[in-house]
Structure 1
């Protein structure tokens, strides 16, 4: 099994694609190199000096001012001491702001840091008051850390197109190469366009249709051009072909929360069982361990999955709401994405 990470350090942003056995399984977008210190929304793993605004006994949590657009939410463990309103503490971002919800924060921020680093961050927090602390991480390093499955990365070969990016990764990645030919052979635009498109066409003509909403994500399987001579047996074949591609798109699109999949009606109970097994195996291969909780596949083909949501979807990152006064509002690409 070959594992490779392509990192494109562009003028407007940094793009990364994790390739496993010649298939792009994960995509990532971050700030352009040199712009890591510019104001932006909190990201997972960021450290902030915060001031406790209010403490909710009913929620067993605190709302914290971290200098962002919205207050952060810091849930407390069952026996954890509640902070005092006005208390200044350091927090790590567990989940970035999503929709109208602020970032989810944790008071456990020292993991993996030595004593000198802890002291430096505490001093930075004392002088900052409220806001982001710590040295900015190079965008190429962010890409290496965040793009791809969890676990050991020692076997991952990183390919970049600029010597400066390779130098930044020298102490992080084991194998870094500057390979223009291999880099240019991978089409970043096509990979991202595929996972921003609403429609995905499968071999044989069937289609997957993705509908992302604030309430959840609906994935519809449409037999489309494959419908010639449609039968329940054909439904089973299309469903089995759709399952691994759905798992791949869940990973690449960074979809989380409630996911409803409308499969074609399976022929019988054994067909539902086989489809469930195939989908479960494909999802577990690409998503973090324990990230997905399955319901069941009903007789009519409806399947319910809940996936831990820890970041914006690719669609949310690249687009913004449009036509809020329209009968059916939509989304449009952000200016930064089209730069």
Structure 2
């Protein structure tokens, strides 16, 4: 059974897709950092970069958004001067991707308004795309005929997989809802930028839309107001519609469906396979790397069979983890080396079959000459790791701290510099016990030697600072004559 759980608290909304009790997708959205994807703004051009055919646009967010105004990167900006905006211009733009790290949101001038069955494209006149997963030719022709009659000449649409089998009345009702959003764009001409013109739905409504389909049998929400709003939409509890239920039990929602522990493990760096092998998943600014290891499976029977078995398991698990953690962009999978070409093809096919279950567009590019599997997955929102964690203040997000030897050397240089180049002759050093002992040297030998050489005084003061952290307080001590 496929079930969508919507756990709403004062500061955080969690959306989970579970299938037969197994967590498949998980999204976090804080009230402080709600996704802007789909929002339409009247933005002010802050900076133009002609060499990139791009502009940075102030939409009122913390970072300026990035807007690419060229049609093709092969075309020079000189040939596109008519499309080049000027600093101070007002542009109506839609957020295509959320801000990530130091990068602002990605903006586009091509608007799209997604619904449960349709994605309305107000500036793509006559273009009607139909999901490839709708394979019946008669059904595709029926849908195309309905939309050709419904849509204005200057408007296009993409039919989602959920549109299969829907009646003309259902398409018309959704088209009217989406067209109302298009009409709001006209108000942007009269607003002072930066200004929000159209805001995408609340996370719960967006999840209800994105997951809506015959394969999801039940939606469960733990907040009465959201439950009421979803119920009033008319999309639930009817014939052929998924069920909607309000969770009122004392047991927290995720715990009641045994997903809490699964969600806590969703960020584990190591993911074990049934064969005894394991994956190591690391996210970087440039790409995601998934390393496959034989682990406990090594040394069991025929080596090549063990490698193939582990790699096949890893292919399926990697696809699951990409979906669960919302890994996107360039993804490199370092499978265990396979000498047999047939084995490489089998692993590639297994991976392609596994990623086909993903709602987000995922492409298996293939193996490089070094035996690394290349995968791309469309970026829609920050990964689960970026949603659930924050940068470590101690290591500044690197995941590593300076060694104690490096830190002690730095501390000693700083102490020597104080006595040699300033008027201060007393120094109080604050740090944890271990670092102070290393700084002073065996039996305090280094500290004693510096005091004798400089004529200064060093005082050691234990504190509860983190590993590798320290503070130095300088003073001018009166010398008795």
Q: TM-score with structure 2 length normalisation?
A: 0.59
Match of 1:311? 381
**How many angstroms apart in 2 are the aligned matches of 1:122 and 1:128?**
13
Query: 5+ unaligned residues in a row in structure 1: which ranges?
Result: 332-339
Closer/same/farther in 2, CA of residues 154 and 330 from structure 1, 3 Å limit: farther
User: Which residue of 35, 40, 49 corresponds with 1:47?
Assistant: 40
Residue 187 (1) aligns with residue 258 (2): yes
Match of 1:296? 367
Offset of residue 81 of structure 1:
2.9
Please tell me whether the aligned partners of residues 244 and 279 of structure 1 are also in contact (alpha carbons under 8 angstroms). yes
**How many angstroms apart in 1 are the aligned matches of 2:273 and 2:192?**
52
Greater RCO, 1 or 2 (C-alpha within 8 Å, sep 6+): 1
Match of 1:153? 213
Closer/same/farther in 2, CA of residues 121 and 27 from structure 1, 3 Å limit: same
Residue 214 (1) aligns with residue 282 (2): no
Offset of residue 206 of structure 1:
1.6
**How many angstroms apart in 1 are the aligned matches of 2:396 and 2:50?**
40
Offset of residue 122 of structure 1:
4.1
Please tell me whether the aligned partners of residues 140 and 168 of structure 1 are also in contact (alpha carbons under 8 angstroms). no
Offset of residue 183 of structure 1:
6.2
User: Which residue of 258, 265, 271 corresponds with 2:330?
Assistant: 258
Offset of residue 3 of structure 1:
2.9
Closer/same/farther in 2, CA of residues 326 and 60 from structure 1, 3 Å limit: closer
**How many angstroms apart in 1 are the aligned matches of 2:9 and 2:94?**
28
Q: Kindly report the root-mean-square deviation, in angstroms, between the aligned alpha carbons of the 2 structures.
A: 3.0
Offset of residue 114 of structure 1:
5.8
Offset of residue 324 of structure 1:
6.5
Residue 143 (1) aligns with residue 207 (2): yes
Is the partner of 2:348 in helix, strand or coil?
helix
Residue 59 (1) aligns with residue 52 (2): yes
| Structure number, greater radius of gyration | 2
**How many angstroms apart in 2 are the aligned matches of 1:215 and 1:116?**
39
**How many angstroms apart in 1 are the aligned matches of 2:276 and 2:348?**
22
Closer/same/farther in 2, CA of residues 103 and 204 from structure 1, 3 Å limit: same
Match of 2:64? 71
Offset of residue 8 of structure 1:
0.9
User: Which residue of 309, 312, 317 corresponds with 1:245?
Assistant: 317
Summarize deviations over 1:194-223 as a string: whole Å, max 9, x none. Answer: 221111111132211111111221111222
Is the partner of 1:133 in helix, strand or coil?
strand
Please tell me whether the aligned partners of residues 159 and 183 of structure 1 are also in contact (alpha carbons under 8 angstroms). no
Match of 1:335? none
Is the partner of 1:329 in helix, strand or coil?
coil
Greater Cα shift, 18-27 or 233-242: 18-27
**How many angstroms apart in 2 are the aligned matches of 1:117 and 1:264?**
50
Please tell me whether the aligned partners of residues 323 and 329 of structure 1 are also in contact (alpha carbons under 8 angstroms). no
Closer/same/farther in 2, CA of residues 320 and 257 from structure 1, 3 Å limit: same
Summarize deviations over 1:199-256 as a string: whole Å, max 9, x none. Answer: 1111132211111111221111222222242612111111111111110100111111
Greater Cα shift, 265-274 or 79-88: 79-88
User: Which residue of 165, 173, 198 corresponds with 2:226?
Assistant: 165
Summarize deviations over 1:286-323 as a string: whole Å, max 9, x none. Answer: 1523x32413165x753222333232111111112225
Summarize deviations over 1:267-288 as a string: whole Å, max 9, x none. Answer: 5111111001001111122152
Offset of residue 153 of structure 1:
2.4
Please tell me whether the aligned partners of residues 92 and 188 of structure 2 are also in contact (alpha carbons under 8 angstroms). no
Query: 5+ unaligned residues in a row in structure 2: which ranges?
Result: 72-79, 114-119, 121-176, 237-241, 402-481
Summarize deviations over 1:52-101 as a string: whole Å, max 9, x none. Answer: 22333322222211111221111125278333332212211101112221
Please tell me whether the aligned partners of residues 208 and 242 of structure 1 are also in contact (alpha carbons under 8 angstroms). yes
Match of 1:106? 108
Closer/same/farther in 2, CA of residues 16 and 116 from structure 1, 3 Å limit: closer
Match of 2:133? none
Please tell me whether the aligned partners of residues 54 and 63 of structure 1 are also in contact (alpha carbons under 8 angstroms). yes
More helix by share: 2
Closer/same/farther in 2, CA of residues 110 and 245 from structure 1, 3 Å limit: closer
**How many angstroms apart in 2 are the aligned matches of 1:93 and 1:126?**
20
**How many angstroms apart in 2 are the aligned matches of 1:327 and 1:159?**
36
User: Which residue of 255, 261, 274 corresponds with 2:346?
Assistant: 274
